[in-house]
Amino acid sequence: MADFAAKRFWKDTTVSEVEGGFTVLLDGRNVRTPAKALLVVPTQPLAVHIRDEWDAQEGKIDPSGMPFTRGANAAIDKVRIQHTEVADMLADYGDSDLICYRATSPRELIAQQAEAWDPIIDWVFETYGARLETRAGVMPVPQDSTALELLRARVHSLTAFELSAFHDLVALSGSLALGFAATESLHAPKALWDLSRIDEAYQIAQWGEDDEATKVSEIKRKSFEHAYDFFHMAQK
């Protein structure tokens, strides 16, 4: 089968201020998204990170090594066009938030979940006025609709670039609350990721690590940390 992977064709990679923000130039030519839109991001720091990703390409272009570029592409080509739908999808995580569903046994895990997650639930209430209630077991129980609407409004207030990153923060962690905590820099990204892995960490402590599961988790952790950085760099 022929190899059609695009190869580096440029020498100079630069950042330029344009109407609406900043863009990246390859030998003076604009970088465009997969949908052929001009890649314009809201802040210079984000543009610099995207420039560095393009500048680091050697030989064949490897999109897997360009998370900031992918995030910008998603914001421009997808989230900007479907902002309402994406925001609603993410806000729905509040009704089944990971940190609200608690183990019924053993006592050690129950205690670990409470110690890790109760402060996040309290923080969400103090910050957004939305009280999420915990549930014993995994059977879904709806949250208070007023609390969910407060959180939904906050999600809808995010810009397309913020929402692009917020998607990964929430989807990877399984928690709307932890996604919000990331946007407010409540903890460092690694600490927030660890809070989403309480159950997994307990199982590892009991039974040991599975190499394949550990590898997948590490990929997700790096993606979560990239999303954390992207979100904050996208803020003006």
pLDDT in tens, 74-93: 999 999 999 999 999 999 99
pLDDT value of position 189: 98
Q: What is the mean pLDDT of residues 172-190?
A: 98
For residue 2, pLDDT beyond 80: no
Q: What is the DSSP string of the chain?
A: ------B---S-EEEEEETTEEEEEETTEEPB-TTS-B-EES-HHHHHHHHHHHHT--SB--GGG-HHHHHHHHIIIIITTSHHHHHHHHHGGGGG-GGGEE--S-HHHHHHHHHHHHHHHHHHHHHHS--PPPEESSS--PPPHHHHHHHHHHHHTS-HHHHHHHHHHHHHHT-HHHHHHHHTTSS-HHHHHHHTTHHHHHHHHHH---HHHHHHHHHHHHHHHHHHHHHHHT--
pTM above 0.85, yes or no: yes
Percent of the chain with pLDDT over 70: 98
CATH architecture of the domain covering 13-79 = 2-Layer Sandwich (3.30)
For residue 67, pLDDT beyond 80: yes
For residue 4, pLDDT beyond 50: no
For residue 5, pLDDT beyond 80: no
For residue 6, pLDDT beyond 90: no
Q: What are the domain boundaries of the chain?
A: 13-79, 83-233
CATH class of the structural domain 83-233 = mainly alpha
